[in-house]
Amino acid sequence: MSSIDDLFIQLRGAGRKALMPFVTAGDPDVAFTAQLLGELARRGCHLCEVGIPYSDPVADGPVIQASYTRALDHHIQFRAILDMLGSVASQWTVPLVTMVSYAIVYRQGLEHYADLAQQQGVAGLIVPDLPIEESAALATVCQSRDLSLIQLVTPTTPRDRAIRIAEASTGFLYYVSVTGITGERTELPPELLDRVGWLREQTDLPICIGFGISQPEHVRQLAPVADGLIVGSALVRRIGMAGETTRDQVVREVGDYVSTLLAALAE
């Protein structure tokens, strides 16, 4: 069992749901990312998703793409990211999950990537460009190291395929709330609750919903059917303003924003 499994067992036992913010590693540098992750943990976030910058991201909208570009322009190094995650993991108990392209994992080597991630306290991987039909090798590597391999289900995933994805996923199942790319939305699809409700009947795995979630009202709407909610673009947009004000102020404003979502989650 990974620390993600332990977390959701505890949350379910307490009748609570998880908030999972997404941040881009190295935007604008790893020291800032470490400071921000510490603030998110201090505010009460339950786990954090950390994007590994990549030149050709999958399904990411302009806000997150821009954050990847900023990090790459600053010549962020993969090992520096993992070292930073290790320092954060040693100070906080919040599970860390990397959102990473399979090209990066493959280039590092499946076992080498998993070993490095485990050594630095990473709890799980989300590999959005790895189809279920090709995931068995990485799943075996992750299982032997108690790393969760989190799979994605989208609104266009056929139901029989969604069941197979759920059976192959560990840690939690990532449900993509909208068709298209990441980004803040004012409204979420009206059929979302029914789709997640159906999926919940097919699996005991925790289900976390991401894409488009940005407002306390979204949290209130989705909390009854989700085990966790993932918030990305709304945070990354605020982080992108780090060049216009002090870093401490950006961290504080992001923390204040997250606190409003946590308050809605606790209602």
The pLDDT tens digits for 227-265 are: 999 998 889 888 887 656 788 999 999 999 999 999 999
Say what the pLDDT of residue 214 is: 85
Strand intervals (E) in 62-170? 96-99, 122-126, 148-150, 152-153
- Residue 180: pLDDT over 60: no
List, for residues 208-233, the tens digit of each pLDDT value.
999 878 899 999 999 999 999 999 88
Q: Angle 192-202/159-168 helices, nearest 10 degrees?
A: 60
Q: Which of 263, 267, 264 is nearest to 43 (CA)?
A: 263
Task: Work out whether strand 48-51 and strand 96-99 pair parallel, antiparallel, or are unpaired.
Answer: parallel
Quickly state the pLDDT bin for 189 (edges 50, 70, 90): low
pLDDT of 126 above 50: yes
**Residue bearing tokens 């060049």:** 243
* Strands (DSSP E) found in 52-177: 96-99, 122-126, 148-150, 152-153, 173-176
**What's the CATH number where 42 sits?**
3.20.20.70
Confidence of residue 58 (pLDDT cuts 50, 70, 90): low
Which of 91-105, 126-140, 165-179, 184-198 is least confident?
Answer: 184-198
Cβ atoms within 10 A of the Cβ of 138, count?
21
Q: Distance between CA 88 and CA 149 in Å, rounded?
A: 21
Domain count, the chain: 1
Q: What is the pLDDT of residue 131?
A: 93
Position 184 scores a pLDDT of 44
Give the Å distances, CA to CA, from 111 to 54, 116, 248, 255. 20, 9, 37, 35
- Cα dihedral sign for 237, 242, 245, 249? positive
Rounded to 10 degrees, what is the CA torsion of 118, 172, 6, 117?
10
What whole-number percentage of the chain has pLDDT above 90? 76
Catalytically active residues, by annotation: 49, 60
Residue 188 pLDDT > 70 = no
The string over 84-99, giving b where at least 16 C-beta atoms fall within 10 Å of a residue's C-beta and e elsewhere, is bbbbbbeebebbbbbb
Peptide bond into 28 cis (omega under 30): yes
Global pTM value: 0.91
Instruction: Using the CB atoms, write b or e for 107-131: b if 16+ within 10 Å.
Output: ebebeebbebbbebbbbbbbbbbbe
* DSSP-assigned letter for residue 248: H
Model confidence band, residue 181 (pLDDT cutoffs 50, 70, 90): very low
- Which range marks the domain in which residue 186 is found? 3-265
Rounded-to-integer distance, Cα 176 and Cα 138, Å: 22
CA dist., res. 232 & res. 265, Å (int)? 16
Biggest CA-to-CA distance, the chain: 49
Q: How many CA atoms lie within 13 A of 11 on its CB side?
A: 24
pLDDT of residue 183: 42
pLDDT in tens, 127-161: 999 999 999 999 999 999 999 999 999 989 999 99
